[in-house]
Structure 1
Amino acid sequence: MGTEKTTNRKTPSWQYSIIAFTVIVLFIALGFAIFKIDFAILLFISWLLAGLFAMPLGFKFREIEDFAYESAKKCIPSSAIILAVGIMIAAFMAAGTIPSILVGGMEIITPKFFLPFTFLFCCVISVATGTSWGTAGTVGVAMIGIGTALGINPAFTSGAIISGAYFGDKMSPLSDTTILASTLTETDIFVHIKAMLWTTIPGALLCVIVYAVMGITTAGDTYDRAAADAFVEALQGLYHINFLPVIPLIVVIVMILMRKSTVVSLLVGSLIAAVIAVAYQGVSITELGTFLTSGFVANTEDTMVTSILNRGGLTSMLKLLSIFISALGLGGILTGTGILQPIFAMLVRKIKTGKGVLVSAYVTTWLGITLVPTYNFPFVMDATLFNPLLKRYNLKSENLSRIMEDVGTLGGTLMPWSTGPVFVAGVLGVSAASMCKYNFLAMFVPVISLIYILTGFGLKKIDPSRDFSAIEGEAEE
């Protein structure tokens, strides 16, 4: 029966693939931009649209559903992290963890240098822990609060946070993206990291400069010292502010550094914070249960305080989960039915030089991360299509692994519908679209990467005496 299904299926032409891709993208883009339809709804309905394009190829709707479900299963580990982060944020607010950091941060950080400090601080934490989501959900939440109190535009702050968080996601040997990219391309992980330094460090330096200029030129626009002092006094009136409430955050960071499970680390930190909230801050167990479920609510009418503190809770993350499931399900249908494959195959057929291999990998990664909002798909696609071509064109594998991360890991965070920006914006309480406008690391690094590809600068050869043309006799399969 399985053989019969296979023989009845058709391979789509590249023209059919482009039409299907264009229709689906326009449906989502127009629905979101013009009719203001919720993004999760558009993604979910797109399952049906993608299925309609798959049926003429010989697929039945039950098979199409299975592709969606199988792909959506991949978000189960991420879903657990998301729910744990929601609980942790509410627990940290109730325990006074974030408020204590806010008060301390406002005493030592000036508005002018807040943005570059935020970027560098998140870089350090993310490299040390290897997790962008953990960085955004812990120190990121604290920094967005400090920035708001200092009068910094939340879009600026969130841009610095996601840039710093994904710096480590890209560069840390502990990061899953770093491990996956090096493994798929059969590259030593530290050779891979060394290759990424060529593009990532210049991009990070440009970020520091741009964030510093933004801080210096805009710091005085909305900053009111009297209002900031009143904010600190309000926090001190609501909580016992000292080092004790910060302990849960330290525990989370230490556990992640020790390579403990992210979910376990977040829940242990939440449990410690819950104990502090009840035993030290005077929160009742009933209140705590409500906070962990529905989100923390500060006992004050101060709008500035409530705008910063009122967040978190398990149910606050359900919209994120709906986007994740819908997006991954759509990606599963598009990849499982082979609708996208002809587009990528067409690119590969046009390759004639080593530079062509890398340019094609660059373009394919952008297409992949745009179509399927997670790095897994473009990573696997790149390794499958281009890794076998590297030796033919005198290219070392780290050239490809670097492109995969420059574009797949970082470039993907420019897409407001991608899983990374959706998560970070959700925990920070900002618009993903506005945050992505100031995600400068994700803008600079792919551009630097493309410049290196086109000029040949920083590319690694297998044989230094040869150029990147095909080895004679191996130009064609």
Structure 2
Amino acid sequence: MTSPMGSSRLPTMTEVMAIMIGFIAIMFLSINVLQLPIQLALFASWFLVMALGLRLKVPYDSMQRGLIDGIHNGMEAVLVLTTVGALIGTWIAGGIVPSIIYYGLTVMNPQIFLFAAFMICALTSLSTGTSFGTAGTAGVAMMGIGHSFGIPLPLVAGAVISGAYVGDKMSPLSDTTVMTASLCKVNLVDHIRSMMWVSAPAILIASVLFIVVGFFYISDGVDTSRTAIAMEALQSHFTITPWLLLPAAVVIILLTRRYPAIPVITFGALLGSLCAWWVQGVDPVQSINIAYVGNAMQSDVEFLNTLLNRGGIESMLGVVALILFALGLGGLMKRVGILQAISNGFLRWANNPGRLTISTMLGGFFGNFFGGAAYVSLITASTITEKNYDDQGVDRRVLSRNAEAGGTITTPMVPWTDGGVFMATTLGVSTLSYLPFLWYHMLVIAISIFYGYANIAIWRVKPQSGTQQDSSAPGQVHAS
């Protein structure tokens, strides 16, 4: 068989498995044995895939084009990442984040804090459509409040990220939501309605879990005396005033009104610099420089040093390199034909709605694991299995819902994806530490698989064997 990627044939499943094993071996040896940066491991994996491409007689120029295309497709996330870095640094130096933490400590009940953090981040992400922006603003504040209550930071991060991805997955303002509907050729509103079947019970159950764990954990003797110490330390190092909440409100309102994220977040960083200068008394040139180098302070309270000495574009440069290497790897794998080979394997196996659901989720996870970004995972989740949905007469609303569950939702679960790296860097908790507490994510995956095998919300259309369904096909039925 000739590959559409320019090679004389598609790789066999044996060759695909060899690449997967080789990739895992490189990652393990580099990180755990040789203690090398993960960026080098991903860079080395490029040449592993290129070796397979040469074996399949794929021209090098074609592989390089695939690599560049993969990076190009994810550049928006890289740009957002750099602007969020600038925003975090200036918002801390300007006293915006410290003010949010301070006033949060005055009104927040420690026993319901985890539930509150989950809901605040969920509402923020639903109204803005960005998990990165939510984690970089409300999320950072929640981490400070949670730490002052003595709650373990991985647990707080789990609540923050769970809430942040409610909107990333469900909001009509989210780029991944719009992208998934477009890739699957489903009306955007119908796509969101389909996801509600899964997300609504997942949000409800996750909320109950965070409430129950909060009450049980606090009742076991969490030391809340840190709250007064934290508030005193914040007041001694920053000017705290309700007026400093306005820049956060302005940024959230602008994002809610669907203004582009990059200029809005950059404007927010500028407001942070102005606050650092006018309110906190920072030198005007230094207040601008903080956008690049991040905030630096010394206090007698260790958690403030850990939480508030961060941010700046410079802090994101290693993350940017990691994402570029991961995106390039995803583009290479597509060009060599690895994704097409996996798709052909799923076509033979996924012969019922339950298997269809699992195959789509595996396609999304595969895109995150090897492609390093939600954009890649949504492409792999939708393209690898879309023909099976058409052939079996399963409505593409089910495909789009499962693509989000396998693609968007699994992004922060993989340490080297753009979402995983961003969340770990921004919140100061490693991916493997917060992973067990991503309860919303796990519930979405579990409920989606259950629906598939139980035939719940699996809508049917006329099978289209051997053809590709398009957006105007008469068999497409939308939710009412």
**Which residue of structure 2 aligns with residue 316 of structure 1?**
315
Matched, 1:88 2:55: no
TM-score normalised by L of structure 2: 0.91
* d(CA) in 2 for partners of 1:299, 1:411: 37
Contact 1:151 1:222 in 2 (8 A): no
Aligned AA (1:405): E
Q: Deviations over 1:157-200 (max 9, x none)?
A: 11111110011111111111111121222212111111111111
Aligned AA (1:294): V
Secondary structure of 2:258 counterpart: coil
Secondary structure of 1:147 counterpart: helix
* d(CA) in 2 for partners of 1:44, 1:114: 41
Contact 2:161 2:423 in 1 (8 A): yes
Name the % identity: 29
Aligned AA (1:308): L
**Which residue of structure 1 aligns with residue 475 of structure 2?**
none
Cα 1:384–1:303 shift into 2, 3 Å = closer
Aligned AA (1:135): T
**Which residue of structure 2 aligns with residue 325 of structure 1?**
324
Matched, 1:374 2:399: no
Q: Deviations over 1:222-278 (max 9, x none)?
A: 743443212211211222211111111111101101111111111111212211211
Cα 1:8–1:94 shift into 2, 3 Å = closer
Secondary structure of 2:408 counterpart: helix
Contact 2:87 2:311 in 1 (8 A): yes
Q: Output aligned runs, 1:240-259, within 5 Å.
A: 240-259=239-258
Cα 1:269–1:366 shift into 2, 3 Å = closer
**Which residue of structure 2 aligns with residue 467 of structure 1?**
none
* d(CA) in 2 for partners of 1:254, 1:476: 44
* Cα drift, residue 303 of structure 1: 2.1
**Which residue of structure 2 aligns with residue 161 of structure 1?**
160
Cα 1:193–1:51 shift into 2, 3 Å = same
Cα 1:387–1:331 shift into 2, 3 Å = closer
Contact 1:13 1:342 in 2 (8 A): yes
Secondary structure of 1:409 counterpart: coil
* Cα drift, residue 475 of structure 1: 8.4
* d(CA) in 2 for partners of 1:361, 1:314: 35
Q: Output aligned runs, 1:395-474, within 5 Å.
A: 395-462=394-461, 474=465
Secondary structure of 1:281 counterpart: coil
* d(CA) in 2 for partners of 1:243, 1:375: 36
Cα 1:391–1:42 shift into 2, 3 Å = closer
Q: Deviations over 1:308-363 (max 9, x none)?
A: 21111111111110110111111111111113321221121334445544443333
Q: Report the count of equivalent residues.
A: 466
Cα 1:397–1:260 shift into 2, 3 Å = same
Cα 1:235–1:385 shift into 2, 3 Å = closer
Contact 2:343 2:385 in 1 (8 A): no
Cα 1:10–1:140 shift into 2, 3 Å = same
Most deviating of 418-427 and 388-397: 388-397
* d(CA) in 1 for partners of 2:24, 2:336: 17
Q: Output aligned runs, 1:64-463, within 5 Å.
A: 64-219=63-218, 223-353=222-352, 355-462=354-461
Aligned AA (1:186): K
* Cα drift, residue 33 of structure 1: 3.5
Contact 2:7 2:336 in 1 (8 A): no
* d(CA) in 2 for partners of 1:325, 1:221: 45
* Cα drift, residue 42 of structure 1: 0.8
**Which residue of structure 1 aligns with residue 476 of structure 2?**
none
Contact 1:298 1:306 in 2 (8 A): yes
* d(CA) in 2 for partners of 1:241, 1:354: 55
Contact 1:98 1:142 in 2 (8 A): yes
Secondary structure of 1:410 counterpart: coil
* d(CA) in 1 for partners of 2:155, 2:6: 54
Secondary structure of 2:185 counterpart: coil
* d(CA) in 2 for partners of 1:276, 1:231: 21
Aligned AA (1:210): L
* d(CA) in 2 for partners of 1:428, 1:68: 30
Q: Deviations over 1:439-470 (max 9, x none)?
A: 1111111111001101102211237xxxxxx6
* Cα drift, residue 60 of structure 1: 4.1
Secondary structure of 1:390 counterpart: helix
Cα 1:96–1:393 shift into 2, 3 Å = same
Secondary structure of 2:273 counterpart: helix
* Cα drift, residue 74 of structure 1: 2.6
Contact 2:394 2:461 in 1 (8 A): yes
* Cα drift, residue 378 of structure 1: 3.7
Cα 1:454–1:318 shift into 2, 3 Å = same
Large movers: runs of 4+ above 6 Å: 5-8
Q: Deviations over 1:68-120 (max 9, x none)?
A: 22211233222221111111111111111011111100111122111111001
Contact 1:361 1:403 in 2 (8 A): yes
* d(CA) in 2 for partners of 1:8, 1:167: 40
* d(CA) in 2 for partners of 1:25, 1:192: 34
* d(CA) in 1 for partners of 2:114, 2:320: 30
* Cα drift, residue 62 of structure 1: 4.4
* d(CA) in 1 for partners of 2:178, 2:448: 20
**Which residue of structure 1 aligns with residue 472 of structure 2?**
none
Aligned AA (1:131): T
* Cα drift, residue 423 of structure 1: 0.8
* d(CA) in 2 for partners of 1:186, 1:340: 20
Contact 2:158 2:434 in 1 (8 A): yes
Contact 2:206 2:439 in 1 (8 A): yes
Most deviating of 324-333 and 29-38: 29-38
Q: Deviations over 1:292-312 (max 9, x none)?
A: 222111253432321221111
Cα 1:362–1:225 shift into 2, 3 Å = closer
Contact 1:348 1:360 in 2 (8 A): no
Secondary structure of 1:219 counterpart: helix
Give unpaired runs (5+ residues) of structure 2.
Answer: 469-480
* d(CA) in 2 for partners of 1:283, 1:440: 41
State the superposition RMSD in angstroms.
2.4
* Cα drift, residue 207 of structure 1: 1.1
* d(CA) in 1 for partners of 2:303, 2:384: 52
Cα 1:357–1:287 shift into 2, 3 Å = closer
Cα 1:285–1:357 shift into 2, 3 Å = same
* d(CA) in 2 for partners of 1:423, 1:351: 34
